[in-house]
Structure 1
Amino acid sequence: MFTSFVGSHSIEKFLEECGIQLSRYQNDRNVLNKAIFEKHLDDFINIANKSGDISAHQTLTVLILQVGAKLLNDLKEKVLESLKWENDSKRYSWPPYVINVRKVYLEDFRQKILSYKNNNASFLINLRRIHE
């Protein structure tokens, strides 16, 4: 779910900064922990800002939620705005059968951000697991 939601190109750049290969992370999410992540947080923010792509900021936010790192207010607000359906639907052209699922993911991500407390890891919903 993670890479399908935000794109693997962004996460690969963040992991590369930490010396972690994407395939290793996909096999064991624990290779990226809070200590490693926070050591590189300023670099991650620079990477996301230089990309000019909101998906990089979304990716960064997902990683923050997963490792329990500090979520900066400006990043939080930027990503929350991007997760509104009217903004998301302008950036991407979704086939009709995907729209409702996309809306579920967007709302889940929004709720996780809004209820997030620093130092408490939070994971996004994975509808594939629900249907298996």
Structure 2
Amino acid sequence: MRLKYSDVRRATIGALNRGKQLSQMVVERMRIAALNRAPFSEATKQLISMKSANVGLYRVSFFDGSLLPNNELFITIRTIPAVADYIRCSEKTVRRALKSNGIVKNKWLVSSSPVSAVKTKSSMLN
């Protein structure tokens, strides 16, 4: 709530519907409205993910410097769970690698990038 509301006003608004039971008709209308609601777009899902997740940019490349399957030297991924999915290991392994030398499975090199890094098409991975 806004800061201009007093504590009494907040308590009154909070207690407004407390303890009330909704009728079956109202519950059914709410259910139908929720089912008919359009799903979030991919852009909206990414914004929600970026605002709610502990986001950083993580740079993933092969340890030997060879090219990735998409013919790039590295890929930038936004979250640690997405990095773990990409290189097929656990999140804990990625976190340990980030604390030490960044090498995962003697194959991957993972490093954290500054957040102000330029976003590429590959950075849109969750």
Question: Larger Rg: 1 or 2?
Answer: 2
- TM-score, length of structure 1 as denominator length: 0.24
Select the structure that is richer in strand: 2
Select the structure that is richer in helix: 1
- TM-score, length of structure 2 as denominator length: 0.25
